[in-house]
Amino acid sequence: MRDSGVRWLAILYLALGLFGCATAPPQSTALLLAPTEEQMQLRNLQTRSFDVSDRNQAMRSVIAALQDLGFIIERANEPLGLVTAARFAEPRWFDVVGVTVTVREEGDGKMLVRVNAIYNNQPVTDPKVYQNFFATLERSLFIGRN
Amino acid sequence: MSRRRSGTLRTTTRSSELCAAALLAALTLLSACAKPNTAALLLQLSPESPAHKANQTRRFETANETELLSASAAVLQDLGFQVSESVRELGFLRAAKERSAREYGQEIARFFIALLSAAGSGSGSNTLMIIPVDLQQQVNASLVTRPLGPERHEVRVLFYRLVWKSGGTSGDQNIPPGEQRMEMIRDPEIYRQFFTRLSKAVFLEAHKI
């Protein structure tokens, strides 16, 4: 009958909707801490070298850049060169972006800055995000120097 | 043709209905996995960034950063904050305080909405609406000082708050208390008051950027 036909279609539609977002099966625990190709690529995206010789100045520039981007500085550790910050995405207040930034001396008056960004507990893999951050950081370093 | 129970005029054919249903199912499959990725926008300066920075920042003509930081901590204490973290080498302070978040406007609105909605629940159905109001808040401050030259330092402070809401009812459905929201404090008056106090504490004038 027509009514039961529509009901069947509705059930099918609902089932397809539920299966639409099936995620990949979980990895075995042995691989969780293993270095993968993706991790290496991600590390390249997240790391950049700057011509700064003073680590303290570099860290202060990182903090200023994060504040300019509207982040709340949560934790800062000078001896370790570590800054943690987070921010709520303003249109949807339950979206959180967190960043961990480490600043390390590379030798030759260069500083290595690495940014780990997470968006709602998922690592951010979009290279544009990191490029945007480093652009702001460069501005901040330039202002700090002059 | 089988007898239909409803008296409405049939405007679609069975095959077109099937096509529509199949299309809808296909669209659901495609859209169900769409993730809104606005993260790229979040690590970019927004058009409001300079205005926010101007609100939150002041410059002081001093070479003594430690004094500035210590005075900032004292001002936060005066305002009732508990300083939770401090890093002198980076000029960083973090503080928080908890207060009641109850506001007259919300309480009055809740009373009137409850009154008006209860008036409608005459014929057995429960239409009483008690809207949740703000109960408790935690105000946080994140402060950073930065040297800008031999005799100049910049102080930037950010205030934001977490608000917990009370419970309520919507007809027969009970809304449990504890819903939380977060908001950045953007009122320039609050920042002005903070910098006025800081300026008095260090005996220096606070210059806007």
Taking only the tens place, the pLDDT of each residue in B6-51 is 556 666 667 777 776 667 666 655 554 544 556 566 788 888 889 9
Exposed, middle or buried: residue B44 (CB in 10 Å: 0-12, 13-18, 19+)? middle
Tens of pLDDT, residue by residue over A27-37, are 677 777 888 88
CB-nearest partner of B90 from A21, A60, A129: A60
A126 touches chain B (CB under 8 A): yes
Tens of pLDDT, residue by residue over A67-80, are 999 899 999 999 99
Strands in B129-130's sheet, in edge-to-edge order, are: B129-130, B168-170, B173-175
Low-confidence ranges of chain B (pLDDT < 70): 1-13, 20-22, 24-41, 121-124
DSSP letters spanning B144-159? EEEEEETTEEEEEEEE
A11 touches chain B (CB under 8 A): no
Q: Which helix (H) or strand (E) holds A26?
A: none
What is the 8-class DSSP label of residue B123? Answer: S
A64 touches chain B (CB under 8 A): yes
Alpha-carbon B82 to chain mean position: 21
pLDDT at B6: 56
Q: Inter-chain contact A63–B46, Cβ cutoff 8 Å?
A: no
Amino acid (1-letter code) at residue B55: N
Q: Inter-chain contact A78–B89, Cβ cutoff 8 Å?
A: yes
**Secondary structure of B39-74 as H, E, C letters:** HHHHCCCCCCHHHHHHHHEEEECCCCHHHHHHHHHH
Q: Which of the residues A13, A23, A66, A99 would you substitute to probe the B interface, choosing the one with the greatest number of B C-beta atoms within 10 Å?
A: A13
What is the 8-class DSSP label of residue B4? Answer: P
